[in-house]
Amino acid sequence: MDRFTFENPVFATYAVAATLMILKGVGMSWLTVVRMMQVNGGFRSPEDIRKTPFNPEPSPQQLAPNEYVDRIRRIQLNDLESLPYFLVAGLLFVLTDPSLALARWLFYGFVATRLLHFVAYFTAQTHDLRATLWTPGSLIVIFMTFRTLLAALGH
């Protein structure tokens, strides 16, 4: 049976969650671009303070660390530490034939808590709240991965 098809509701659920997370992840790059343009800084390469049409009045200050931009970079790095593992773990988990209800809880639970984590990080809520919203997503990845490992070892 081919499980990697949109006709498989568990896979379709995965695909919705995965694409939403990819769009979220890619969105961080664009948000970094927007903020670099807003503050006209937060650059990282020496050549970025060369005079160009987009940067008519360069200054060394543009290479200084900029918290407004760096916050998005930290969020982006947090995504990189999490989303690629989720994307692969979720794909493999589909092959364990979970119930649709369980798949929905796990996939959409990951999406929902990652989006809330983003809001908390973006608006600079406390470390405690951020950690609380980060935890479920990580536990979901661990749970799916363990289940897949057991299924793979059982064959």
Binding positions for a second copy, rule: CB under 8 A: 1-7, 9, 12, 15-16, 18-20, 22-23, 25-26, 28-30, 33, 43-48, 50, 52-55, 67, 71, 74, 76, 80-85, 87-89, 91-92, 95, 121, 124-128, 131, 138, 141-142, 145-146, 148-149, 151-155
Min dist. Cβ of residue 69 to a second copy (A): 13
CA dihedral (120, 81, 75, 117) in degrees, to 10, reads -10
Q: How far is the CB of 16 from a second copy (least distance, A)?
A: 5
Q: What are phi and psi of 30, to 5 degrees?
A: -70, -35
- Compute CA distances 121 → 72, 90, 103, 129, 137, whole Å: 9, 24, 27, 9, 15
**For residues 38 and 81, which CB has a smaller minimum distance to a second copy in the complex?**
81
Please name which of 120, 85, 80, 94 lies closest in space to residue 16, comparing C-alpha atoms: 94
Residue 151: CB minimum distance to a second copy, A? 6
